[in-house]
Amino acid sequence: MMRLKIIILFPLFFLLFNCGYKVANLQKNYNILEVETSGDNRINYKIRNKLLVTSKNANATTIRLSLNSKKKKNIKEKNINNQITKYEIVVTTIIKYESINSPYKGEFSIIKTGDYSVSEKYSDTLNSEKNLIKNLINDIVEEIQDNLSTNFNDT
């Protein structure tokens, strides 16, 4: 009886768990030639530099990027004395790309949000805001790289 269960379960196990899924190859298959920017200059400068440093591939598709970034700072929380205790920052980036070698072009947008607390010292509050923006920029750059890799591995 036990042997029959093993004989039945063994092939069933392989059929269920061998679904044919394979991991996508997310190599950077593009080389960024130039980046046009508009909107928030500080955010665009940091995104541009991070993208240009990581996209040095000689045998890849050459692309041109256009970045449009906006930063919006909102009040998230106030205390009982109507003093601001928490801010929220929303960074929206619209990325347009086009291949120089082929007529392939596209567009996508990324929206990242985060919040930080107001400290008793103004300098601590500014440092919290800078750290949050730095983290949001790193997330945006990662997502841009993933999206471009996915799009140019499909072609």
- As a whole number of angstroms, the distance between CA 143 and CA 50 comes to 12
DSSP H or E run through 124: helix 122-154
Which range is least confidently modeled, 92-101, 107-116, 125-134?
Answer: 92-101
* pLDDT score of 152: 73
Per-residue pLDDT, 74 = 95
Q: Which of 7-11, 81-85, 112-116 has the lowest mean pLDDT?
A: 7-11
Tell me the per-residue pLDDT of 56-99, one tens digit each, with 9 for 90 and over. 666 677 889 999 999 999 999 999 999 999 999 999 999 999 98
> Is residue 43 a contact partner of residue 91, using CB atoms and an 8 Å limit?
yes
- pTM of the predicted structure, to 2 decimals: 0.79
**Token duo for residue 61:** 């598709």
Query: What's the rounded Cα separation, in Å, for the pair 23 and 30?
Result: 19
pLDDT tens digit sequence for 10-42: 676 666 666 655 555 556 677 888 899 999 999
